Every structure is written in C-alpha cells, then in structure tokens.
Amino acid sequence: MRIPALFALALAAPALVAPALDAPAFAQVGPVTVQPEATDFRIGAYQLSSLRDAGNIAPNDAKVFGVDAGIAEVDKVLVAAGATQGQIELSVNALLIRLPGHVALIDTGYGMPRGTLLASLEKAGTRADAVTDIMITHGHGDHVGGLVGPDGKPAFANAVVHLSAPEWDAIKSQPNNAKLVAAIGTKVKPFTPGAKLLPGITAVDLHGHTAGHSGYEIVSGKARLMAIGDSAHSYIVSLARPDWVMGYDKDAAVGAANRATVLGRLADSREPVFSPHFPYPGVGRVVRAGSGFKWQPGLPQ
C-alpha cells in the first residue's frame, strides 16, 4: 500500500451548513472528491489499516467551530497554523484492525454512493463479508452510514455491531434512523461504556459529543493506540483551542471538558492516535503547544 501525503485534502462532518454572510468570499466549502486508499501500519502484533471514505471542507461560520469565539478568532488560529482562513478541512476515515480470530472495523463512514470505504477495504486486502466486528463511536451519519448497503441490507453481512447502550438508545429514539435500525437491529450488541470488547480492544467513555460517544483503546503488548472518534474534529482548531464550543457536540460543556482531558492525557503519554476527521490517514500524536495542543502526523514505528 502506498502511504499518502499526510496533509491531503480532508473530509466531511456530520452535516454541512451554509457559510455565514460575513464569511470570507474566497472560502471554498463542500464535499471533496477523494480516491479509495488504505494505509497499513502495526500496533504490536496487530496489523491495522487506515481506510479513506470521504472528504469535505467546512465553512468557518461560527456555527460549528469556535461557536463561542467567533469567525475572526477561528481565522487567527487557522492562519497561525498556515491554513487557509474561512475554511476548515475535515476527513472521514475508518480503521481496520486484524487480530487473532477477528477482523474489526471502527466506524463505517458515509456509505455508498458518497463514501469510498468498501473500495478502500479492498485495497487493504479485505472483503466486507470477512469483517467480524464493527465498533461504532457514535450514531452520526458519517460514522454509521456505511453499515447499510444501497439495497437496504447490512453492508457487512457477518459482522457484530458494537456500540454503547446509551448510543444505541439514542439512535433508536430518532425517527430518521428507522431504516438503519431495521437493517442492523439483530446484529447490534450494546455494551456498557468502558467495556472490554475484544482481546486488546477496550471502549473508552467519551460522552458529550453524543450521549454514548465512545473512543477505543487498542493494546498489543506494550504498544497501544487510541481511536478518539469525534472528541476532536479539526487537527488545527480543536487542538489549539479545545475549550471552544463545538457546534456538533450535544453537550457542549462536557464535550469541551472531555476534549481537553483526553488530549492532555494523549500528549503526556505520547500514545499514537487515530482520528476519523484529521487529514488522511489520521494517524499521529498529540503534542502540547502553549496552552493548547498541535497535531504531529506520522505512522507508529
């Protein structure tokens, strides 16, 4: 597998909102066309692959990033990091984990026709029917859309779907999820937040973004990696100012508190990180920078 440029154009967030009237006129927003890709690396004895699904550029409109700070303050952070003001690049990535007796997938992206996850999975040398376990971070469409194929049937016919009990309850309570619930209901295995799911994979309670949002800690021997889900969306803004309100968070205060806590722990431990929304392949480390953090992309050695 080829290893792509770590700062390739990135991908989409749960919903796209129109630019504010005072957003910079030159800002380019909307979906980004990407090609299927799979990037392989190892955590101890486990072989992992970051899988590319989709891409988007979100507007800096004070509706999602820095809701409490405003457009100008967010632009200052973007410019200081060498990024284009007025727009925020996001990725949609999924993580494949091969371990004894299991072929596991963390999140499933948008699904067809927008997402490229199944084609990326093929590039990783794996078929959809070979996946035994799917671990969902939360129920937003860019994480669960790929669970269902265009025919309305489960896209991963032989996989158990693991997600936290509070998240499953939240998904079932929303009428617009009726088709999803009907398709995967018999495959879902809800877990108590923080449960050990598979050998070497433990759920981490990171609620706040949603009621049952979960990260996943992958451990093999002394090696480990944390899949942070939507604890942080932008590799620039979310890290530089984790205290700012994120419009996608159901509970803004809890989301911000968890974001600062988990980023601080990861920076201090130097543990590798997988993020579904950081520039593909979304693998690297969080390091401290002033009163906040910054992203250090790179595959574990």
Residue 92: give the domain boundaries: 29-229
In a domain, 91, yes or no: yes
Residue 298's pLDDT is what?
98
Element (H, E) at 91: strand 87-99
In a domain, 150, yes or no: yes
CATH of the domain at 144: 3.60.15.10
In a domain, 88, yes or no: yes
In a domain, 97, yes or no: yes
In a domain, 16, yes or no: no
Check: CB of residue 287 under 8 Å from CB of residue 103. no
CA distance 301 to 287: 17
Residue 23: which of 81, 65, 56 has the closest Cα? 65
In a domain, 213, yes or no: yes
Phi, psi of 217, rounded to the nearest 5 degrees? -100, 125
Check: CB of residue 161 under 8 Å from CB of residue 188. yes
Structure tokens at 78: 């973007």
Q: Peptide bond before 113: cis, by omega within 30 degrees of 0? A: yes
Which single residue is written with the structure tokens 């376990």? 133
**Helix (H, G, I), strand (E, B), or coil: what is residue 141?**
helix
Per-residue pLDDT of the chain (301 residues; tens, 9 = 90+): 333 332 232 333 333 333 332 333 335 688 899 999 999 999 999 999 999 999 999 999 999 999 999 999 999 999 999 999 999 999 999 999 999 999 999 999 999 999 999 999 999 999 999 999 999 999 999 999 999 999 999 999 999 999 999 999 999 999 999 999 999 999 999 999 889 999 999 999 999 999 999 999 999 999 999 999 999 999 999 999 999 999 999 999 999 999 999 999 999 999 999 999 999 999 999 999 999 999 999 999 8
Which single residue is written with the structure tokens 């440029």? 5
The residue type of 142 is D
- What does the DSSP 8-state code read for residue 176? G
Task: Quote the number of domains for the chain.
Answer: 1
β-pairing, 87-99 with 30-31? unpaired
In a domain, 246, yes or no: no
In a domain, 45, yes or no: yes
CA distance 57 to 34: 12
